[in-house]
Structure 1
Amino acid sequence: MSLLQWSKRWLITVLILLIYLLGCSLTLSVDRLGHHTEESNLSIHLVRLIINPVMLALEQNHHQLTSPEVQENVRSLAEEQGIQLSYVGLDGTILFSSDPSSQGEHIHLASALHYDLNHAGHANYGEDVVDMAFPVLHASDGIQIGNAIFTIPKAMVTVQPSSTLPYLVAGISIIIALILGILLLTMHRKIHKRLLSPVHILQHHAESILKGQYDKPIHYKHTDEVGELYAMFDLMRTEIKYLSEQRTKQEQAQKELITNISHDIKTPITTVKAYIEAILEGMCADKETLMEYMRIMQTHTDKTAQLVEDLLLHALQELGQISVEPREVYSGPTFEAMLGSFGHAVRLKGLTYETPESVPNVLIRMDTTRLEQVLANLISNALKHTHRGDTIRVHTELRADQFIVTITDTGQGIRAQDMPFVFERYFRGQSSPVSRHVQEGTGLGLSICKNIVEAHGGRISFSSKEGQGTSFQFSLPVC
């Protein structure tokens, strides 16, 4: 059932109940006019107001009722109130009375005591007085010690009915019914205006989002529950818009990645092919020229293999399946061998390559192949940001059960606006006027490094200052 249908049915039901309320009020008024009796107008509140002073004096002085002065005081209070009092013990003996002659007599408690005003009125039906009994309690422990029987003129405790009261009640009931009806109609209008209409508007916004239209803001002018719903819905729209933009950017980046890798792979393959054709055509006159051709082909083949490896790791990273198989090895000989293998490539570029004189020899659980890829990517990244004459320095140390490797270069550094995105996939930075070759590569290397290091339980970070160089650091837990 829709909210609109529910509100209509609710309104009809309440209106029917109001009509019943009005009918019941009129019926009650007519019934009160036709069945009014004198006993029904006796007021227990008036009784209590009249007897309270006498009851107070009796409870305070019950242990001294044998004293003539106390008896006279109580009789005077009863006479002032216009009533008569008989104080009866629990055995039915009259211990004190406004009529001294009745003191000492015995009464039948079951028939003489009337604690209920209506029963007392019926018992004294047709008489001008009513005999009303009240228990007398001990002041200290609250135990009943007797009963006080008051003989009170009915005229003193009878509430005279007003002939206009039933009509007044009926009039008030009609006014209340009208007010409730107006309130219900106002509530129905408010529900439609403040709840149903906003929900319909929100439905249109949801349909727009389903169609991919995320740019239209969602506003609501009231700060109530519906306003909070609108605010959350607009936050959801903003988040969906952001995710859609990110997905579009990622798809575009993937397309660019495929294009770049295709171009990067095509270039070395074309070069290798050209040199193979030259060899086949007999253009190598001597062994030295042949070896030079072979070295060039090897360089381009290594570059192609690295691109294919990056592409494979990227695909595995997308699937969350980069294979890391750590084994316990000693860091000293392992890292010395890995760092030594990069020296020739760095020096070939005309850079100074500094490695640690000794590597801390501790037991580490690591995948040697994957960590060699991390070092290769970080050193290759440093080569892209340096020029002939710069320095690439590798430092190793132990710190708080962590084996830490730091790779520092004195190159061009990273621009401040690029730093938040360094470890994101596909990000390659922007070319600076001084270094136009910074964009070389696929933009996957540092993302892959982060994934591999974290798979080993370590962390990777960097610091850089544009124009002064960059330092990458990663840590591995020691066994």
Structure 2
Amino acid sequence: MYLQAWIKRWLIVAWIGLLMIAICSGGFLWNDHLQGQREDSGYVINRARLQVSEIMHYLEQHGQEIANSVEVRDALLNMSKESQVSFIYTGLDGRVLFNASSDTELQQIDVKTGLHYDLYQARMDQDHFRIAFPVVAGAAQAQTQVGNAIFMLPVEDVFVPKTNGALYLLLATIVVIVMILCISLLLLTRKIKQDVLIPVHQLKDYSEAILKGNYEPKATYDEMNEFGEVHTMFEQMRMEIQHLSRRREEQEQAQKELITNISHDLKTPLATLKAYIEAMREGVCPDMDTVMEYARVMYSNTEKMARLTDDLLLHALKELGQISVTLKERYSKELLESILQPIAHYVRTTGVHFIEPTDIPNVLIHVDGHRLEQVVSNLISNALKHTEPGDTISVNTELEQGKLKITIADTGRGILPQDMPFVFERYFQGKTDRGSGTEGSGLGLSICKYIIEAHHGTIFFRSIEGQGTTFYCLIPL
């Protein structure tokens, strides 16, 4: 992934930079250690002795004359000014015999604590040393110490200044590494802002829009990396939510239309029943044949109201998850014959040809007989709505791959191609080729699908516009 690889490369650069800084810091420490070892060597004292050799030589020759000779003291003062070296000359008892330093009040020095011949014990502060040298006089065979010279020397006169190219190289390396890390950090900050923070804020705005019910803004991202994939999935989610929202609105509208349609469909047969009953009460029927004709019309309207109320009840039970399907072992032949016989008589009375199965397989199936009857009745009633007198409705049964296959076919108008994906949707009422809605509530096929699936079976159809429709129900044995 792009961002993951980019951050990984940046981390590698950062770790390499930190490692090099650690190595350079170790080089500094090692150099200080070596410098300390060099400073401990004896040649440092010898360099300090060379700095004061002229004064020491003069003291060895004239040190005993300092107390009585003004010329000697003046010569020592001139030598101190010329060499810019301050010093004190003391006797062996620590009494100050000559003072060429700024400390004019010093009269006595403790020879046990005030004389320092060691370099580091003689260090007074960061910039100066107080180093003592013994002053000896006499012939080479009989030299004796006559006093001590205490010199105040600056550090640069004691230590040789070192110009270490390696240290400069280490320092330059550290500076370059720090600059590289700073630039990398700035690039990382910019990258995080552009590729992480801005897309996250955009997704936040898109989410707020969705929460407010605005599904139109699209989550777009130019690059196909991690956030590109997130935006793609978010866009798919937005489209799915938008689709579900539209479907919900359509269903709510369909529910309202369902109530309106059922109210209208119930009102018409009720008005017909009322009119015929009032006619019979008023004695309009002159003979028994007219009474029977009125009774048939009343029965037909009663059947229509019963179907509507049954569909509405089953739909309500389905919404509540309370359509009870009690599976029992039943033999298919006896059950289907009892279901098809009354339906066949009713279909033939409408002028539509009805073809019953010639041979029903007599197999044992787990089925709810009442619910299966509702499925078959709904499918045949649905076929009647799309057929006209002279058309044919046929039922066939056979065994297929361990299942009982029930086929209900008609030679009616068929289903329009644009309606096929929504046939099993609740409230959906297909349109005929003339554009008018078909009679019904739009619940029958949805209920059939629910019942068949409760039997662990499947239901599907094939249809050709103008040639008819065939429904298939598969029930496990």
Cα distance per residue 1:278-299 (max 9 Å; x no partner): 1222222222222221221111
Partner of 1:465: 464
Distance 2:226 2:400 in 1: 54
Shift of 1:314: 1.0
Shift of 1:439: 1.1
Moved more, 307-316 or 280-289: 280-289
Cα distance per residue 1:400-432 (max 9 Å; x no partner): 432222112111222222222222212221121
Partner of 2:271: 270
**Pair 1:23–1:261, CA change in 2 (3 A):** same
Is 1:318 aligned to 2:324, yes or no? no
Normalized against structure 1, the TM-score is what?
Answer: 0.65
Give 1:262-341 correspondences, 5 Å limit: 262-341=263-342
What amino acid is aligned across from residue 229 of structure 1 in structure 2? V
Q: 3-state SS of the aligned residue for 1:228? A: helix
Partner of 1:373: 374
Shift of 1:222: 2.9
Runs of 4 or more off by more than 4 Å in structure 1? 20-27
What amino acid is aligned across from residue 456 of structure 1 in structure 2? H
Distance 2:293 2:436 in 1: 26
Is the Cα–Cα contact under 8 Å of residues 428 and 442 in structure 1 kept in the other structure? yes
Cα distance per residue 1:419-478 (max 9 Å; x no partner): 222222122211213xx7761111111111111112122222222212222211212222
Is the Cα–Cα contact under 8 Å of residues 355 and 395 in structure 1 kept in the other structure? yes
Give 1:52-451 correspondences, 5 Å limit: 163-433=164-434, 439-451=438-450
What amino acid is aligned across from residue 217 of structure 2 in structure 1? K
What amino acid is aligned across from residue 393 of structure 1 in structure 2? S
Unaligned runs of 5+ in 2: 1-13, 40-161
Is the Cα–Cα contact under 8 Å of residues 415 and 432 in structure 2 kept in the other structure? no
Q: 3-state SS of the aligned residue for 2:346? A: helix
Cα distance per residue 1:148-203 (max 9 Å; x no partner): xxxxxxxxxxxxx9931112111211222222222223322332232222222222
Partner of 1:65: none
Shift of 1:272: 0.8
What amino acid is aligned across from residue 191 of structure 1 in structure 2? I
Distance 2:437 2:352 in 1: 17
Q: 3-state SS of the aligned residue for 1:35? A: helix
Is the Cα–Cα contact under 8 Å of residues 462 and 469 in structure 2 kept in the other structure? yes
Unaligned runs of 5+ in 1: 1-13, 39-160
**Pair 1:28–1:373, CA change in 2 (3 A):** same
Is the Cα–Cα contact under 8 Å of residues 29 and 166 in structure 1 kept in the other structure? no
Shift of 1:23: 11
Cα distance per residue 1:42-74 (max 9 Å; x no partner): xxxxxxxxxxxxxxxxxxxxxxxxxxxxxxxxx
**Pair 1:25–1:332, CA change in 2 (3 A):** closer
Shift of 1:365: 2.3
Distance 2:191 2:469 in 1: 64
**Pair 1:204–1:298, CA change in 2 (3 A):** same
Partner of 1:137: none
Is 1:474 aligned to 2:473, yes or no? yes
**Pair 1:172–1:382, CA change in 2 (3 A):** same
Q: 3-state SS of the aligned residue for 2:366? A: strand
Distance 1:224 1:460 in 2: 43
What amino acid is aligned across from residue 297 of structure 2 in structure 1? I
Shift of 1:331: 2.0
Shift of 1:36: 5.0
Distance 2:180 2:373 in 1: 84
Shift of 1:345: 2.0
Distance 2:188 2:275 in 1: 86
Aligned residues: 339
Shift of 1:223: 2.9
Cα distance per residue 1:48-104 (max 9 Å; x no partner): xxxxxxxxxxxxxxxxxxxxxxxxxxxxxxxxxxxxxxxxxxxxxxxxxxxxxxxxx
What amino acid is aligned across from residue 335 of structure 1 in structure 2? L
Distance 2:266 2:433 in 1: 25
Shift of 1:27: 5.6
Shift of 1:388: 1.3
Q: 3-state SS of the aligned residue for 2:242? A: helix
Q: 3-state SS of the aligned residue for 1:321? A: coil
